[in-house]
Structure formats: structure tokens, C-alpha cells
Amino acid sequence: MKDIYLYPDLYDALHQDIETDKNVITHYAKKCNGSVLEVASGTGRLSKYITDLGLPYTGIDNSQSFLDVSIKNLGNRGTFLLRDMRDFHLNKKFDFIFIGFNSFLHNLTDKDAVSCLTSIKTHLNDGGLFLLSIFQPDHSFLYRDEYLYEARTFFDYQGKQCRMMERNSFDDETQINSLIWQLEIDGNLSEETYSFKQRMYYPHKMDLLFQETGFSIQEKFGDWDMNPLDEESPLQIYICK
Ligand SMILES: C[S@@+](CC[C@H](N)C(=O)[O-])C[C@H]1O[C@@H](n2cnc3c(N)ncnc32)[C@H](O)[C@@H]1O
């Protein structure tokens, strides 16, 4: 089984068209109008939104192969550093910090989550804003049976028509969802499997984590149209001070 975060070309083939988060993230970056830190910046999908605004940008990630893609594409417009989000020190503070696209779910324990938020807080300027976006745990996804389901519909990868299939198993005790992705190439399921884990965080848990780490929530949204967060919302988007 391979680590999906060692395969930037595949990751980009799967995600490069996603833009739903662009407007809200750029709205808050413009509002802060200063230096920006992205936590878990990956291959630079979201970095580009910020560098296009001309704001000073730093991205951190713990996958060197993902960072290499960012450096190749955007290295002259931003700074990209190998760091673990659970404990980092940059000797610099920022006006806007964000962690998008469910990356926070890679904090698999309370300890990791608190340590990550604490690191973020020490890098946020007074008066700055912090945006965090994750999906809301969905029982119909977490507790489904162990068939293969379509995770991403057809996309082009290495000149072939591919689909990403997935199965998952959810551990109630740890609240960790273990996912396995299996690539279908030109209609045939390949032997290639990729794995990753995500911890589920409910809104009440996020409230407690923000409180414990000294953040105050300014706004909460349940989707990228900025509708209020409620039990039915697909996403949790927090804007904190
Ligand atoms: C879902 S991807 C999001 C990447 C990018 N922000 C985007 O929107 O496409 C999650 C990212 O988190 C990174 N990551 C996972 N655990 C991490 C950790 N402990 N510290 C820093 N980055 C981490 C992965 O390498 C990956 O780039």
C-alpha cells in the first residue's frame, strides 16, 4: 500500500479542478491584507490563489515530494518549507493563517490537534485571522459496508482514463477513518492501492479545541456559500482570532 502524499502527479490529477474554496479563502486573505501562512500546503493548489493576489506567502507541509511541485511552479512567488503541522517554529508571525481541504483531519489524536492549533496560534499576529476548513463527519460515509465505491469520477492520469475507487473502515473508539484508494485504469481495477487516515471532528469538539488553545471563533460556515453551520452542513469552516 502506498502513501498518497508521495504521489503528487496522481494527487494533482485528482484535485486540480477543485476551486470551490477559492472565493472564501481569497476573501479573508484580502481582508487581512498582509503576510499569509498556509498549513499543509501540499502541491500548491491553494497557494496559487494567494500568490496571485501578490501577498507574501509561506506554505508548510511534511511531504517533500509535494513541496517540490510547489517550488517548481511557484517557488519564485512564495516560500515553501518542510515542517510538521503538529509542532513548527518559523520565527515569524502572519496576518492570515489557513489550513484548508480537510488537512486538519490528519491530526489523528487530541494531542496532535491541540499541538497543531497551539503552533498556529503562536504564529498569528494580534488582529490576524485563522481559517480552518474540514468536512462534517457523515455517518452514511463512515459506516457504509466494505464495498469499493467511486471516490473520484473519471480523470486523465498518465494518458489513461482513470477512476479512483475507495473503501474505508471507521474506528468508533479513536474516531479514525482509514481509507484505501484503488486506481481503476481504462476500466480495469489495478493492483495499486493508496492509504490515508483522517480523524473525525464534530463541531462541538472543534469548539472545545479552539477554546483550549486560546482562539475565539468569529464566524462559522457550513459550506463555501457561507451558509450557517448546522447539523446538515457538509462542511465546517471556522474563522478565528
Ligand atoms: C488533503 S491534502 C491538502 C493539500 C493542499 N492544501 C490542497 O488543498 O490541495 C493534505 C496535505 O496535508 C499534508 N500533511 C499531512 N500530515 C501533515 C503533517 N503532520 N504536517 C504537515 N503536513 C501534513 C499532506 O502532505 C498533504 O499535502
* pLDDT for residue 59: 98
Residues 32 and 59 in one domain: yes
Phi, psi for residue 149 in degrees, rounded to 5 = -115, 160
Q: What residue type is 76 in one-letter code?
A: N
Residues 123 and 222 in one domain: yes
Q: What pLDDT does 146 receive?
A: 78
Q: Rounded to the nearest whole angstrom, what is the distance from the C-alpha of residue 135 to the centroid of ligand 1?
A: 15
Looking at the structure, tell me whether residues 127 and 155 fall in a common domain: no
Pairing of strands 188-199, 176-185: antiparallel
CA–centroid distance, 100 to ligand 1, in Å, is 9
Q: What distance in angstroms lies between residue 99's CA and the mean position of ligand 1's atoms?
A: 9
One domain, residues 159 and 191: yes
pLDDT given for residue 192 in this prediction = 86
115 and 56 part of one domain: yes
Boundaries of domain holding 152: 139-199
In a shared domain, residues 77 and 169: no
Same domain for 101 and 159?
Answer: no
- Which CATH number belongs to the domain containing residue 57 in this structure? 3.40.50.150
Q: Tell me the three state secondary structure of residue 17.
A: coil
Judge if 129 and 155 occupy the same domain.
Answer: no
Provide the CA 89 distance to its chain's centre, in angstroms: 20
* Distance of alpha carbon 209 from alpha carbon 228, whole angstroms: 20
Q: Are residues 167 and 130 in the same domain?
A: no
CA dihedral 145, 164, 195, 204 (to 10 degrees): -60
Q: Tally DSSP H helices, then E strands, for the chain.
A: 7, 12
- Residues 161-205 pLDDT 10s: 999 999 999 999 999 999 999 999 999 999 989 999 999 999 999
Cβ-count burial 21-45 (b if 16+ within 10 Å, e if not): beebbbebbeebeebbbbbbbbbbb
pLDDT at 93: 98
Same domain, yes or no: 67 and 26: yes
Strand bridging mode 94-99 / 36-39: parallel
Number of domains composing the chain: 2
Pocket mutation for ligand 1, best pick of 14, 99, 106 (most atoms within 8 Å of C-beta): 106
Same-domain status, 125 and 18 = yes
Q: Residues in the chain with pLDDT < 50? A: none
